[in-house]
Amino acid sequence: MENFRERYFFFEGVDPAPSESHKSDDGALVVGVASPRSSGQELPEAAADWFFDFIYGRRLTWKQKATARQWSGIIHQHHRLFRFTRICMDPNGGGVLIKRELVATKQLLNGIETEVTPIGDLVDAPRLLARADFILHLFKRGDPGVESLWPELAGDDLLNDALYGECKSALDHGLWALPPGVADWMIERRTELERWPEERLWALKNLDALATQLTRIIVATKPDGGFVFTKRNARQFSSLGKKDFVSAAMYCYAAFLMWLKSGDLRSSMAPEDAAGFSGWAGAGATRTAPMSGFGGLGG
């Protein structure tokens, strides 16, 4: 167990959304875990030398009408469970407001106001004198983590293009994986599945939704099959249906890439009960996420 706890690193991607009406977009949170492919003592610096497994998904719809403080409490609750190495969040859809709430020393965890360690980013670090976990990145130009990967981009369209390209490459090279789907569990291990707590079960169902959404991301093309580009030569993307889990998954992977780029590859101490959260049993015990339909993107 000690080996597991020292060689697995957890990340979260957050795609918040306003909760104004039934027409509002859904928000989502996705957790991924990275583990080195080799057992060498030094942690590798290249993404290709790691397994990356998605193990948890949660959706918040307009029915929950979650406030920025409630979103913050959920992120803190997840941080207690998984002890994240990095978190990456979309600044839009209320992300900036959530960031402001994350630095509070008291959070609503399961509806109870609880003392916590604040979560901040490197921009917060100089002004936060109290102890905090500086693990947050906002996915926007100017964020230190974003700039380390894609420095001095001229527009947000280029940043989105860069992230899609990285994620498509990860899919093409088998770096992403998901736990077995609900249907697979029902066939092979139904009795075990029926004993799971409710949250664990719907988290697994949400990862099924992620797998489906991955097949429905498309890139705009011309009649001749060529890409349609923006004025800054960025590709344009859309989805045949919802894409909340895909967006959160991509931010999750971006958090991992930012950590690799930081060079701060120290061993972690993962929580003992994080293993197997959504049926995940460690690297190699998963199925590869589907790739067909993911925008037809090149690497």
Domain ranges of the chain: 2-264
Confidence of residue 296 (pLDDT cuts 50, 70, 90): very low
| CA distance linking residue 125 with residue 132, whole number of Å | 8
The mean pLDDT value for 201-227 works out to 88
Neighbours of 22 (CB within 10 A): 7
| pLDDT higher than threshold 80 for residue 238 | yes
How far is it, in rounded angstroms, from Cα 257 to Cα 91? 18
266 contacts: CB under 8 Å, gap ≥ 6: none
pLDDT at 8: 85
Q: Residue 209, SS3?
A: helix
CATH of domain 2-264: 3.30.420.240
Planar angle of CA 22, 74, 181, nearest 5 degrees: 75
Residue 298 binned pLDDT confidence (cut-offs 50, 70, 90)? very low
For the stretch 30-65, pLDDT in tens is 999 998 988 777 889 999 999 899 999 999 987 777
Residues 251 and 176 sit within 8 Å (Cβ to Cβ)? no
φ and ψ at residue 13, rounded to 5 degrees: -110, 135
Radius of gyration for the chain, computed over Cα atoms and rounded to the nearest angstrom? 19
Q: What's the mean pLDDT in 109-135?
A: 84
| 25 alpha carbon, distance to own chain's centre | 17
In this prediction, residue 225 carries a pLDDT of 79
pLDDT the model gives residue 34: 92
Residue for token pair 């397994």: 51
